A and B are shown apart, each in its own frame.
Chain A
Amino acid sequence: MNVKARLWTAPAVVVVGFCLVMLLGLVRPSLHTTMFTIGLYALIALPLGLIYGQGGTISLAQGSFAALGAYTSAILTTRYGLSPALSIVPAILLPALLAFVIARPILRLPELSLALVTLSLGTVIAVGLQRGGDFTGSFVGLSGAPPLPIVGKNPVGTAILLWAAVLVVVVMYSHFVRSLRGRSLNAIRVDRLLAESMGVNVPLDLATLFAAAAGIAGLAGWFYVHSIGYIAPDSLGPETSASILFMVVLGGRRAVLGPILGAAFFTFANDFLPGAESHGLFFGTILVLILMLSPDGILSPQAMRWMRRVFAGRGRKASGPAPPVVPRAGEAAR
């Protein structure tokens, strides 16, 4: 498979998977709502996969950035009568701007401190939204947000619009990691001094990507509030951030499709498991087991190489002697 084709593997998998599940949804309509939830989580988790899996910059504020986007849009549409088609711009820009400003001082911290600082940042945002009085609806939250433009309240249309956004992010992500900029992001994770000695402006690049991740989370928040119609402090917040990180780590932080796989796993497990109290037990056990077997998550480069070898072996049997297949480094991850 040549390089150009590899760039389109992940988007193709997303399109095919989405179509299959939506067709199954004709038999079982609840799948459309499930698909919406998966897409929502995937949209928040994908940029975290980029900055954490490729750039080594962890963030536990993604859920709160999504809440910020959702509240921004809800306040603008319900109080000031703005159309959702217009409020999408501030819903993306406000979290991105906040993230960009805050990124400069915090992104030089080591991983564990960064996790704690972003967690505190998310908590500050969550508390701020909770204690915002009438302006943010306090503990009750805001209701009456108008439905999404174009698709309205149609669950199929909503899922398609959301997954179109996911697809755009996946296409951009795949192209980015195969570009020189993406390579430099990997260099930052592996060895900061190496990246600097190559001329990479590390603080600016990381801050920009951190802000982009927050902006995409804000977009997910916009989708959330205008499809469900209301937003409360419990809807999105630090707990969502933790779940999002779980999805990224479980699904595979080095692979483009890892966060989506993690989001699908998380959503289906939530649907099928009985009793919300026992979820933590189940997810914790799964995470420990998976990370023991494959430290990079389910879609790790090693796992993908193994799969390719299996498939290549099968292909050779079918079509006679084929040229030897060389396992390629990190092919799956890019």
Chain B
Amino acid sequence: MSLSASAVSIRFGGLVALNNVGVSVSPGEIVGLVGPNGAGKTTLFNCLTGVAAPQQGTVMFDGENISNLRLEHRVRRGISRTFQTPRLDLAGSVADAVMLGFYPRLTQGLFGACLPFSQAQRTEDELAAKARQLIAEFQLTNDPDSLRGRALARPPAPTGGSTSARQRAALPVARRAGRGHRRRRPRPARSGDSRCRRARPRRAAGGAQRRLRRRAQPIAWSRWCRARWSPPGTPADVVNDPQVVGAYLGVQRVAA
């Protein structure tokens, strides 16, 4: 029940994105990864989730070497991945987008999905009901079947635009929550993340709240800063930690 990578290296041509990097996450632990632009945060996530294959080193999950497995096979083993920009079908509804997250639990084949009155169609009804629960829990939209998919993807309007951004950020989390996975990969942080922090549903039911509000224990890692530490404190303390600020904005900023 643990995810670890050891001595992982990836280079794109002459550019060394990851050089001999190791990371390990034990069950129940929440780990964040901070570093300046170009430090290789996304590449490490790509490497752990199977979007990029490591040229050296191994990725282990539950004692199994998954270095050479493709993304979809890792997903089936219980690793999920969200992206910096939420990926969704702009013409589809929110219900459809959330239901896509149930895919790894699917058991019937292609043929079963075609038949009327089959087990597949009954499962479909149950999943639709579950998707509606999740949409309510994460306050994604009031009208799950309408064209809100398009609205979710629209760039935030000058006024009240944060609603849209909040929903967009919460959609992938809702998708994964429906899956009942053991472990969720947080996506790399990006600029404008204060808005994503607001994405947490404040008054949401207990489950979602617990999932999203557990305290983070970040690992700071970058090409310059390899220290690993687990500072005690709230997320606010972590954000104001000089080492974190330094990793993002450069050391001068901390001194100022």
Contact = CB atoms under 8 A, between A and B. Distances in A.
Contacts of B104: 198-199
Contacts of B49: 197
A37 interface: no
A181 B71 CA distance: 18
Interface string B116-159: 10001101100110000000000000010111011000000000
Q: Tell me whether chain A's interface is mostly helix, strand or loop, or mixed.
A: helix
A175 B106 contact: no
Nearest to B114: A172
A331 to B, nearest CB: 9
A183 interface: yes
Contact of A179 (B87, B124, B143, B147): B124
B238 interface: no
Contacts of A200: 72, 103
B121 A187 contact: no
Contacts of A182: 113
Nearest to A3: B128
Contacts of B99: 180, 183
B143 A326 contact: yes
Contacts of A327: 146-147
Contact of A197 (B71, B102, B106, B110): B71
B121 A205 contact: no
Contact of B91 (A175, A196, A301): A301
Contacts of A172: 114-115
Contacts of A202: 72
Q: Tell me whether chain B's interface is mostly helix, strand or loop, or mixed.
A: helix
A183 B115 CA distance: 16
B213 interface: no
A171 interface: yes
Contacts of B72: 196-202
Nearest to A184: B103
Contacts of B114: 172-173, 175-176, 179
Kindly state the interface size class of chain B when it binds its partner.
Answer: 35 or more
B75 A199 contact: yes
Interface stretch (B19-27, B76-84, B201-209): B76-84
Contacts of B124: 178-180
A190 interface: yes
B103 A209 contact: no
A328 interface: yes
A330 B92 contact: yes
A198 B127 CA distance: 15
A316 to B, nearest CB: 19
Nearest to B145: A328
Contacts of B113: 175-176, 179-182
Interface string B62-92: 0000000011100110001101000111111
A326 to B, nearest CB: 5
Most buried by B among A184, A187, A209: A187
B43 interface: no
A106 to B, nearest CB: 19
A271 interface: no
A179 to B, nearest CB: 4
A182 B103 CA distance: 11
Nearest to A176: B114
The list of the 7 closest CB pairs from A to B, nearest first, reads A199-B75, A172-B114, A181-B113, A199-B104, A179-B113, A194-B87, A196-B71
15 contacts: A175-B113, A175-B114, A179-B120, A180-B120, A180-B123, A186-B89, A190-B89, A191-B89, A193-B51, A193-B71, A196-B70, A197-B83, A199-B76, A329-B92, A330-B92
Interface of B: 49, 51, 70-72, 75-76, 80-81, 83, 87-93, 96, 99-104, 106, 108, 110, 113-116, 120-121, 123-124, 127-128, 143, 145-147, 149-150, 175
Interface of A: 3, 7, 171-173, 175-176, 178-184, 186-187, 190-191, 193-194, 196-202, 205, 208-209, 212, 301, 326-330
